[in-house]
């Protein structure tokens, strides 16, 4: 373990805690995930490409990416507004509202799926008002997007909120005293500080949405090529005993999600450095 450490520390427990963490991580997460790649490696390259590149698979990725992107984008906009309102304004019920933001973390996804379908189907509480305008929601990509907005909202709010809280009022005051109006202050001063957090929240919501299953299957309609999401396609392949194809598609999703996580972490490090650098200047 001494080899790993780059800085001496007097604190004990490094070997024990790191060893335990890494062992547990390997046993529970990494080895099982490696099994997935071993299994998909049982396909030949041609079979693998056929499985992950079939028109149906491509349509499913397109839908999963499109709906996840749309949902994450909507969350980036509304999540920023919500975070702003929660941090900057005090009004009756703001505390309850703040607590409510975590609901999608705590509510089981299947319950969310059944509930949203009940609400948005054309005989549902909301759906019946949308249907006459020719906006069918349940069983369309729009319905999928709405379910994903539900799932992803807390990711954006909870990453933007702390940054907004830590913003120093002096920054805005300085901008104002230099003659900037409110909108310019937001665009030139606040937004540059907020965007790494905003992008991180967006990416987290996006990564989570890509794999989401429980809340989406009830509302999606599951039409191949139209409303079939990638995780459902994995299940579909499994049910036809196509283990190889299922694991191949799963591996593709996994690699994409992992790449995104790496990106998020790099971004966070970038954000911290920037922030840290800004803090050092006055000294």
Partner 1 sequence: MTSASAGRDWTLADVPPPPRTASAVADPPWVRGLLIGVALLFLGLFLLLPLVTVFGQAFSKGIGVYLDAITDPMALAAMRLTLLVAAISVPVNAVFGVAAAWAIAKFEFRGKSLLITAIDLPFAVSPVVSGLIFVLLFGAQGLLGPWLTLHGVKIIFAIPGIVIATTFITFPFVAHELIPLMQEQGTEEEEAAVSLGASGFQIFRRVTLPNISLGLLYGIVLLNARAMGEFGAVSVVSGHIRGQTNTMPLHVEILYNEYQGAAAFAVASLLALLAVVTLVVKRVLEWRMGRASRAL
Partner 2 sequence: MRSKRSSLLLSSLVFAFAVSGATARADKTLLNVSYDPTRELYDEYNALFAKHWEETKGEKVEIQQSHGGSGKQARAVIDGLEADVVTLALAGDVDALFEKGNLIPKTWQKRLPNNSCPYTSTIVLLVRKGNPKGIHDWEDVAKPGVGVITPNPKTSGGARWNFLAAWGYALDKWNGDEAKARELLRGIYKNAVVMDTGARGSTTTFVERGIGDVLIAWENEALLALETLSHGEYEIVVPSESILAEPPVALVDTVARRKGTTGVAETYLQYLYSPEAQQVIGKRHYRPSDPAVAETYAAKFPKLKLFTIEEKFGGWKPAQARFFAEGGIFDQVYQPGN
Q: Which residues here bind partner 2, judged by CB under 8 A? A: 54, 117, 121-124, 138-139, 217, 221-226, 232, 235-236, 238-242
CB of 171 to partner 2, least distance (A): 41
CB of 228 to partner 1, least distance (A): 13
CB of 212 to partner 2, least distance (A): 16
In the complex with partner 2, which residue's Cβ is closer, 91 or 241? 241
DSSP 8-class letter at 133: G
61 vs 225: CA distance, rounded Å: 10
Residue 21, binding choice from partner 2, partner 1, none, Cβ under 5 to 8 Å by partner class: partner 1
- Cβ atoms of residues 93 and 86 within 8 Å: no
Residue 90, binding choice from partner 1, partner 2, none, Cβ under 5 to 8 Å by partner class: none
106 vs 113: CA distance, rounded Å: 14
In the complex with partner 2, which residue's Cβ is closer, 68 or 228? 228
Residue 226, binding choice from partner 1, partner 2, none, Cβ under 5 to 8 Å by partner class: partner 2
Residue 153, binding choice from partner 1, partner 2, none, Cβ under 5 to 8 Å by partner class: partner 1
In the complex with partner 2, which residue's Cβ is closer, 5 or 128? 128
Q: Give 83's contacts (C-beta < 8 A, 6+ positions apart).
A: 156, 157, 160, 161, 164
Residue 101, binding choice from partner 2, partner 1, none, Cβ under 5 to 8 Å by partner class: partner 1
In the complex with partner 2, which residue's Cβ is closer, 32 or 224? 224
Q: Give 254's contacts (C-beta < 8 A, 6+ positions apart).
A: 33, 36
Residue 199, binding choice from partner 1, partner 2, none, Cβ under 5 to 8 Å by partner class: none
Range list of H helices, 89-106:
94-100, 103-106
In the complex with partner 2, which residue's Cβ is closer, 9 or 240? 240
Question: How far is it between the farthest Cα atoms of the chain?
Answer: 70
Matching residue, tokens 């139209």? 226
CB of 46 to partner 1, least distance (A): 22
CB of 141 to partner 2, least distance (A): 12
Residue 188, binding choice from partner 2, partner 1, none, Cβ under 5 to 8 Å by partner class: none
Question: Tokens in use for 223?
Answer: 């039409």
Q: Which of 226, 216, 213 is nearest to 116 (CA)?
A: 216
In the complex with partner 2, which residue's Cβ is closer, 174 or 225? 225
DSSP 8-class letter at 130: H
**Other beta carbons less than 10 A from residue 147's beta carbon:** 31
Q: Give 15's contacts (C-beta < 8 A, 6+ positions apart).
A: 1
In the complex with partner 1, which residue's Cβ is closer, 59 or 120? 120
**Other beta carbons less than 10 A from residue 116's beta carbon:** 22
């Amino acid at each position: 373990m001494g080899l790993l450490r780059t800085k001496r520390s007097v604190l004990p427990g490094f070997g024990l805690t790191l060893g335990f963490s890494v062992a547990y991580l390997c046993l529970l997460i990494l080895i099982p995930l490696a099994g997935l790649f071993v299994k998909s490696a049982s396909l030949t390259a041609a079979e693998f490409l056929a499985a992950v590149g079939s028109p149906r698979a491509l349509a499913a990725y397109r839908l999963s990416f499109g709906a996840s992107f749309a949902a994450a984008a909507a969350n980036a906009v509304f999540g920023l507004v919500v975070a702003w309102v929660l941090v900057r304004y005090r009004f009756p019920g703001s505390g309850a509202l703040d607590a409510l933001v975590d609901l999608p973390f705590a509510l089981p996804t299947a319950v969310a799926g059944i509930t949203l379908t009940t609400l948005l189907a054309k005989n549902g509480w909301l759906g019946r008002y949308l249907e006459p305008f020719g906006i069918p929601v349940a069983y369309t990509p729009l319905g999928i997007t709405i379910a994903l907005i539900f799932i992803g909202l807390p990711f954006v709010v909870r990453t933007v909120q702390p940054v907004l809280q830590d913003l120093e009022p002096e920054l805005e005051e300085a901008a104002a005293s230099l003659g900037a109006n409110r909108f310019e202050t937001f665009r030139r001063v606040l937004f540059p500080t907020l965007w790494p957090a905003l992008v991180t929240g967006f990416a987290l919501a996006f990564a989570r949405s890509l794999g989401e299953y429980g809340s989406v299957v009830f509302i999606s309609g599951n039409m191949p090529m139209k409303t079939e999401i990638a995780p459902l396609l994995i299940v579909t392949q499994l049910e036809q005993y196509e283990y190889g194809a299922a694991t191949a598609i799963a591996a593709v999703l996994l690699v994409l999600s992992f790449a995104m996580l790496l990106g998020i972490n790099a971004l966070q490090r970038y954000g911290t450095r920037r922030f840290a650098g800004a803090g050092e200047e006055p000294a």
